Amino acid sequence: MSENPRWYTVVLKPQLADAEGHPEHGSPLRETRVEATGDLGASGYPRYAGSGVQADIDPATGAVEAVTVDGDELPIGYVAQAREGDTAGGDSMVPGEYEFEAPRAPEDGKGEGAHPA
């Protein structure tokens, strides 16, 4: 039996419909990294939690079987999807472990990154 993922990213989206009534998910409203708690949820699947989101996720399919957001059920018309994280190795996406350097204006004050005074 394979090991369950240590974390997922849960994406919350509105469920919309196209002109013919086919389900279509809108843009993500919230994305949250949830970590394995080691417990099983009420649905019987492993429980993951983080940043106000608790989700029971089927590790075989990646389906979100149960979810609460900030202690409440997901409103009707919204869907929760999960993107798999790591199983046992190092995290490939650990919040805060990346650096961002903003572009700097050239010393002469002209060119890309320069702002007019």
| Measured distance CA(111)–CA(117) in Å, rounded | 13
| Measured distance CA(40)–CA(52) in Å, rounded | 18
Residues 32-70 as b or e (16 or more Cβ within 10 Å = b) = bbbebeeeebeeebbbbbbeebbbbbebeeeebbbbbbe
| Measured distance CA(70)–CA(54) in Å, rounded | 8
pLDDT over 80 (residue 112): no
pTM over 0.75: no
Burial, 10: exposed, middle or buried (Cβ in 10 Å; 0-12, 13-18, 19+)? buried
pLDDT digits (tens, 9 = 90+) for 37-61: 999 999 999 999 999 999 999 999 9
Residue 18's pLDDT band (cuts 50, 70, 90): confident
**What residue ranges do the domains of the chain occupy?**
1-112
pLDDT digits (tens, 9 = 90+) for 59-74: 999 999 999 999 999 9
